[in-house]
Amino acid sequence: MSIARPLPHDTAQLHVTGAARYVDDIPTPANALHLAFGLSSIACGTIADLDLSDVRAADDVVAVLTADDLPFENDVSPSIHDEPLLSDGTVHYLGQPLFLVVATSHLAARKAARKGMITYEESTPIFTIEDALAANSRFEEGPRIYSRGDPEQAIANAPHLIEGTLELGGQEHFYLESQAAMVMPQENGDVVVHSSTQHPTEIQHKVAHALGIPMHGVRVEMRRMGGGFGGKESQGNALAVACAVAAIKTGRTCKMRYDRDDDMIITGKRHDFRITYRVGVDDQGRVQGIDFMHYTRGGWAQDLTLPVADRAMLHSDNAYHLPHVRIESHRLKTNTQSATAYRGFGGPQGMVGIERVMDHIAHHLGMDPLAVRQANYYAADGSQSTPYGQTVEDFVLHEMTDQLVESSNYHVRREAIAEWNAANPVLKKGIALTPVKFGISFTLTHLNQAGALVHVYQDGSIQLNHGGTEMGQGLFQKVAQVAASRFGVDMDFVRITATDTGKVPNTSATAASSGSDLNGMAVKIACDTIRARMAEFLAEQHQASPDDIRFQDGNVHVGDNVLTFQQAAALCYQNRIGLSATGFYKTPKLAWDRIKGEGRPFYYFAYGASVTEVVIDTLTGENRILRTDLLQDAGASLNPALDIGQVEGAYVQGAGWLTTEELVWDGKGALRTHAPSTYKIPACSDRPDIFNVALFDNENREDTIYRSKAVGEPPFMLGISALMALSDAVAACGDSYPDLNAPATGERILDAVQKQQGGGDA
């Protein structure tokens, strides 16, 4: 049985030998052309004059395109057609593509792209939340509000009122492979597109619109990405469309990859948030009523801001029952990069909000924050529902928390830390345990569908294809494990092929942690269709019942007769049995009204819990994670090695978001942290010294693929315990509540420490 085995990534061998091919590694025809965008140098205004004569005259330039040269639609938005590929004369952010250079080399294109002489008429840009609120600059007509019960009254009646504000920075994806696309023109005006994208169908759709052809004229292929994390859900559109337009115009293969700095300046990032809260609690720290305000900067174009902000609202409860609750969400339009999907998709931001509240309540009441969290946990018996009315049926966090408290020795360490802090004037330690409850499904319900195409060849080898994309998460291997297990064969029978819109159409983005759930099921269905045909035929041949045919150990057992799988496949072929099938799956039970904020947006929840211990330096704010213990609910894991890999990596990425990863824009709207020299993702030594990771023994109560659970995004939020541990360490420096904002850089920590010490400004 291939299911549940800790097999390595399907292309691990190719990774370590450098043989795994990414878009920029695909051999290009000798006459291929290379593209680069000319970017705006202001954040807001109009173009008075676009003098591109020096660009056109630059060495090795073949063509220079502006919006006027685009044959059909000038739009690369995944949502509401508000994102021109090339500026229509208006400038919305600093770094916006204005024109497109087509040259004979990547370097020549980059050099020429800097030679534009552009005169602007500048307008006053909108950068901050305050700017946007003052100008009523927003997406949607007004704030979205979800509520239940009577929070005002509940807060007023509660014995304790706690209020606060939390600032949460955005996050650059920093996939190691920057965005890339290559388009090869075909006969009949068709194109073949190679794109580093999580969403081949979206690329197909946008390219077809840009070329004015039906989707059947565009075939998108994607074998693997060098990381995605949400950053390649919509942000690859511009490159693919640019290449397609240029390829059709020149009749030559066109390729584009962003230089790292360009990538960071042009593309969207995680949404930053400001969350304010007013909460009424009882003496045991239980929330009686709560009122959240979310403000998020969506940047210049809508992109995926609405569902991101929705998901932040939908995770404002995290693991806690909020009987009376109101969440108001402002989605603001600003002259910055268009914020986009990023692992967790708003969920992490909403979740940090309520975790901050729990931390604040504990400090206010002088309780252990863990006790406050546990006091507010959803009931395990399924008697409670979320603020949006979904019953929490499978709440396993009580048990998970107990298990983690014990394995991490939380209580003993917490006491030891208090003693250590009393003895150390300069350095202070902190510890925190935080839970995660993350909703699994696209909140746009129709996206919860997937297709697969499976072929069994007459030699018994199996080729499979599905709509999901591989970005490192091991999806292909998990799905191959499903296929091998359905046919009862070894993994080497199964070959996984590049995602291809010509094989499986109308796919959803590989996003929302849905990859294995959706595609695993679609593949299973396709395999079972073929298996049923084979079984029916073999049963008939041997006068047996199809139910008695077993596919296992590389063989097909027909009563007492045993055929190898190869023999069975050959026999079926010779007897004209169809050995190819599609599979289609749609997630059941979903019903969601995003305007009212009511229903069941999620098929199920994935759970997790983490304990982090940190140390801070009260002289400089320097800090380190000393130990981390993680426990993640992956249901009945399809592949525990790959799942643990997701959990470890997600934690470090989540902790990075909340600590060292700081995006800084200057007063002109220029992103100052646009390269790894200035934007600091965790390095090797930033991982915890002691790093214990385990999967919780569980089965999905819902009928998912082999009862597994999604694992891509949920463990990202385990990183929240790092922020809360830092808050705990700062709290050890004085009596007031630390109010630590994120990212908790050394500077923010030192500020918070000095506030604790009563020093204020130094």
Residue numbers annotated as active site: 713
**What tokens were used for 588?**
């059941």
The neighbour count for residue 690, using CB atoms within 10 Å, is 12
Rule CB under 8 A: say whether 1 interacts with other proteins.
no
Cβ 471 vs Cβ 338: under 8 Å: no
Enter the tokens of residue 395. 């709440």
Q: Which of 129, 535, 750, 752 binds other proteins (CB under 8 A)?
A: 750
Report the residue from 15, 56, 216, 589 that binds other proteins according to the rule CB under 8 A. Answer: 15
Kindly state whether residue 261 participates in binding other proteins, applying the rule CB under 8 A: yes
Assess contact for 95 and 125: CB atoms under 8 A: no
Residue 14 interacts with other proteins (CB under 8 A)? yes
Give the contacts of 727 (CB within 8 A, at least 6 positions apart).
Answer: 359, 430, 432, 738, 740, 744
- To other proteins, the closest distance from the beta carbon of 369 in angstroms equals 19
Q: Please report the beta strands in 516-568, taking only residues with DSSP state E, as ranges in sequence order.
A: 549-552, 555-558, 561-564
Token pair, residue 482, equals 């499903």
Binding segment for other proteins (CB under 8 A), chosen from 64-72, 74-82, 346-354, 685-693, is 685-693
Q: What's the N-to-C CA distance of the chain in angstroms?
A: 64
- Rounded Cα distance, 295 and 130, in Å: 10
The site that binds other proteins (CB under 8 A) totals a number of residues, namely 97
Based on CB atoms, which residue is closest to other proteins, 117 or 135?
117
Nearer to other proteins among residue 728 and residue 751 (C-beta): 751
Contact of 246 with 99, CB cutoff 8 Å: no
Q: In the complex with other proteins, which residue's Cβ is closer, 111 or 294? A: 111
Q: Select from 82-90, 565-573, 686-694, 696-704 the region that touches other proteins (CB under 8 A).
A: 686-694
Query: Site for other proteins (CB under 8 A): which residue of 1, 19, 80, 156?
Result: 19
- Per-residue x/- marks for other proteins, 297-336, CB under 8 A? ----------------------------------------
Q: How far is the CB of 14 from other proteins (least distance, A)?
A: 7
Out of 4, 5, 22, 498, the only residue in the binding site for other proteins (CB under 8 A) is 22
One-letter identity of residue 660: T
Q: What DSSP string runs through 226-243?
A: S--TTTTSSTTHHHHHHH
Do the Cβ atoms of 733 and 713 come closer than 8 Å?
Answer: no
CB nearer to other proteins: pick between 491 and 571: 491
The piece of 69-77, 246-254, 295-303, 659-667 that touches other proteins (CB under 8 A) is: 659-667
Select 433 or 447, whichever has its Cβ closest to other proteins: 433
Q: Which amino acid is at 201?
A: T
Closest approach of other proteins to the CB of residue 636, in Å: 19
Question: Contact at 8 Å (CB) between 629 and 672?
Answer: no
Least separation in angstroms between CB 749 and other proteins: 10
Beta-carbon-side half-sphere exposure of residue 114 (alpha carbons within 13 Å)? 5
> Counting contacts by CB under 8 A, is residue 632 touching other proteins?
no
| DSSP string for residues in 71-131 | SS-----SSSS---SS-SSEE-STT-EEEEEEESSHHHHHHHHTT-EEEEEE-----SHHH
> Residues 226, 387, 451, 515: which binds other proteins (CB under 8 A)?
226
Residues 133-152 that bind other proteins (CB under 8 A): none
Q: How far is the CB of 643 from other proteins (least distance, A)?
A: 10
Q: Which is nearer to other proteins, 522 or 693 (CB)?
A: 693
Q: Which stretch binds other proteins (CB under 8 A): 280-288, 373-381, 705-713, 749-757?
A: 749-757
SS (H, E, C) 126-148: CCCHHHHHHCCCECCCCCEEEEE
Which pair of structure tokens corresponds to residue 174?
């920093």
Place of tokens 């979205």: 144
Q: Which residues pair with 183 in a beta bridge?
A: 193, 254
Q: Please list every residue from 111 through 130 that binds other proteins, using CB under 8 A.
A: 111, 114
**CB of 440 closer than 8 Å to CB of 344:** no
Q: State the nearest-atom distance from the C-beta of 213 to other proteins, in Å.
A: 31
| Residue 159 and residue 283 in contact, taking contact as beta carbons nearer than 8 Å | yes
Q: Is 279 helix (H, G, I), strand (E, B) or coil?
A: strand
CA distance 583 to 532: 13
Give 39's contacts (C-beta < 8 A, 6+ positions apart): 94, 95, 96, 97, 98, 113, 262, 265, 266
Could you tell me which stretch among 209-217, 360-368, 379-387, 426-434 binds other proteins (CB under 8 A)? 426-434
Task: Please state the closest distance from residue 23 (CB atom) to other proteins, in A.
Answer: 11
| Contact with other proteins (CB under 8 A) among 31, 419, 672, 757 | 672
Contact call for residue 345 and other proteins (CB under 8 A):
no
Q: Is residue 426 part of the contact set for other proteins (CB under 8 A)?
A: yes
The values of phi and psi at residue 697, to 5°, are: -75, 110
Of residues 413 and 533, the one with the C-beta less far from other proteins: 413
Q: Which of 177, 303, 517, 633 binds other proteins (CB under 8 A)?
A: 177
C-alpha torsion 260→264→270→275, nearest 10: 140
How far, in Å, CA of 216 to CA of 229, rounded? Answer: 28
- Our finding on whether 174 is near other proteins (CB under 8 A) is yes
The one-letter amino acid code at 612 reads: T
Q: Which of residues 396-425 bind other proteins (CB under 8 A)?
A: 413, 424-425
**Which tokens belong to 752?**
């918070």
Among 30, 412, 595, 762, binds other proteins (CB under 8 A): 762
Q: How far is the CB of 502 from other proteins (least distance, A)?
A: 24
> Site mask, other proteins, residues 464-483, x = CB under 8 A?
-------xxxx---------
Q: By C-beta, is 5 or 81 nearer to other proteins? A: 5
Binding segment for other proteins among 237-245, 266-274, 516-524, 679-687 (CB under 8 A)?
679-687
CA distance 258 to 239: 9
| Distance of closest approach, residue 413 Cβ to other proteins, in angstroms | 8
Among 136, 165, 284, 620, binds other proteins (CB under 8 A): 620
**Residue 627 in contact with other proteins, rule: CB under 8 A:** yes
Of 200-208, 352-360, 602-610, 684-692, the segment contacting other proteins by CB under 8 A is: 684-692
Q: Which is nearer to other proteins, 99 or 665 (CB)?
A: 665
Whose Cβ is closer to other proteins: residue 427's or residue 539's?
427
For other proteins, give the closer residue by CB, 224 or 278: 224
Q: Pairing relation of β-strands 97-103 and 33-39?
A: antiparallel
Find the binding residues for other proteins in span 231-260 (CB under 8 A). 259-260
Q: Compare residues 156 and 176 and give the one whose CB is closer to other proteins.
A: 176
690 contributes a contact to other proteins by CB under 8 A = yes
Instruction: Confirm if 186 and 211 have CB atoms less than 8 A apart.
Output: no
